[in-house]
Amino acid sequence: MSNKRSAILELFRAGKRQCEIVRLLNMPKQTISDAINRFKELGHDGRRPGSGRKRTVNTSANRKIIKKRVLRNRLVSMRKIARETGISDRSVRRIAKNELNLKPYKLQKVQLLTDENKRVRLQRCRQLKRLAAGQRWERIVFTDEKLFTVEQAHNHQNDRIWSAEAPGPLAVVEHRQNPESVMVWGGICASGKTPLIFVDQGVKINQEVYRRDILEAVLLPWAQQHFGDTQWIFQQDSAPAHKAKTTQEWCQAHFPGFITSAEWPPYSPDLNPMDYSVWSILEARACATRHKSLKSLKQSLSREWDRLSPEDLRPIAQNFKSRLGFCIAAGGGHFETGCTYHS
């Protein structure tokens, strides 16, 4: 009807008489007369105020009820509100989103930070931002360890199976107590990655093992070959083997640049590219299905580690500078609000 009304008014504005419009559009005279009279009354071709279907659910009273229940319990589900109020689930969601401007957010686990932790994080993030200024972030080697198991990794929120019928066992992810596992060490920079190191079961990564089997035997030769005479910077977190006095002294003596345990922000997995990106990528790719043995797990991890290219790693490393800025803007606290919007 709106298209017909537009055609009528276009001819009317062009100076055509009603009888001419009837003949040109082949419409009933009453239809054309009503459209022209409404245009003269309103001054536009829109609807009259108050016309259309009256609201029966999206009322002021129902909006107040929904708002009150959400304010009383921020974790309440729209389904529960719908069930308790007798309003359809779809209407409750529409009112919450369009009328009350409410959005659903997913809760996230974050590191507990005290006021002192935040103060130290803020101070050290400012120092690291100066250290990574310009293009120097490209030559920071970020390192970390992670424990991988033979079990299938899955995301509780995002992993889905599309099926016309109930998928049955396909939708089940089985886990056992104390599955076989392997500790893995690795490092990346904007232009490459270190070899991936597997630590044998039963071997504790103390300061001696860490210094001898990882830093001296693997990292230093790789960095000398990768960077040549170019200055580079070594990063590690504050694990006991890392911040041991002998480890710190060895790093100071053998690496051209080194972020000491007194310079790296405490409780900050959100700042290490290995933690916030690389390990997750590796786990999602290498542990998409359960492995029958540690040998299979290691082969899969090695294969997926080799697939990581400088094109993959550069934006991950570059994000380190952005995260420093976000942490500073948040006063050393969580620069992500602890929850993300879920549309």
Place of tokens 């490209």: 138
Reduced to 3 states (helix: H, G, I; strand: E, B; else coil), residue 332 is coil
CA–CA gap between residue 99 and residue 132 (Å, rounded): 45
Please give the pLDDT value at position 268.
92
Residue 169, classified by CB atoms within 10 Å of its CB into exposed (0-12), middle (13-18) or buried (19+), is: exposed
Residue 332 lies in a domain: yes
Window from 13-22, 210-219, 223-232 with minimum mean pLDDT:
13-22
Average pLDDT rounded to a whole number, residues 261-286: 94
Please give the pLDDT value at position 203.
82
Strands (E) across 173-277 are located at 181-189, 192-193, 197-199, 233-235
Q: Count of alpha carbons within 13 Å of 308, Cβ hemisphere only?
A: 31
Average pLDDT rounded to a whole number, residues 173-194: 88
Reduced to 3 states (helix: H, G, I; strand: E, B; else coil), residue 234 is strand
Pairing of strands 181-189, 105-107: unpaired
* Residues 247 and 292 placed together within one structural domain of the fold: yes
* Residues 254 and 193 placed together within one structural domain of the fold: yes
Residue 8 lies in a domain: yes
Reduced to 3 states (helix: H, G, I; strand: E, B; else coil), residue 199 is strand
Average pLDDT rounded to a whole number, residues 29-44: 84
pLDDT band at 50 (very low <50, low <70, confident <90, very high): low
* Residues 265 and 151 placed together within one structural domain of the fold: yes
pLDDT band at 23 (very low <50, low <70, confident <90, very high): confident
* Residues 270 and 299 placed together within one structural domain of the fold: yes
Residue 164 lies in a domain: no
pLDDT band at 153 (very low <50, low <70, confident <90, very high): confident
> Quick one: what percent of the chain has pLDDT higher than 90?
65
* Residues 72 and 123 placed together within one structural domain of the fold: no
Q: Is the pLDDT of residue 288 over 80?
A: yes
> Quick one: what percent of the chain has pLDDT higher than 70?
89
* Residues 119 and 228 placed together within one structural domain of the fold: yes
Please give the pLDDT value at position 343.
46
Please give the pLDDT value at position 336.
67
Spatial contact of 24 and 11, defined as CB atoms under 8 Å apart: yes
- Domain with 19, as residue range(s), is 2-42
Spatial contact of 153 and 287, defined as CB atoms under 8 Å apart: yes
* Residues 245 and 336 placed together within one structural domain of the fold: yes
pLDDT band at 338 (very low <50, low <70, confident <90, very high): very low
Please give the tally of structural domains in the chain: 3
CA–CA gap between residue 203 and residue 199 (Å, rounded): 7
Residue 231 lies in a domain: yes
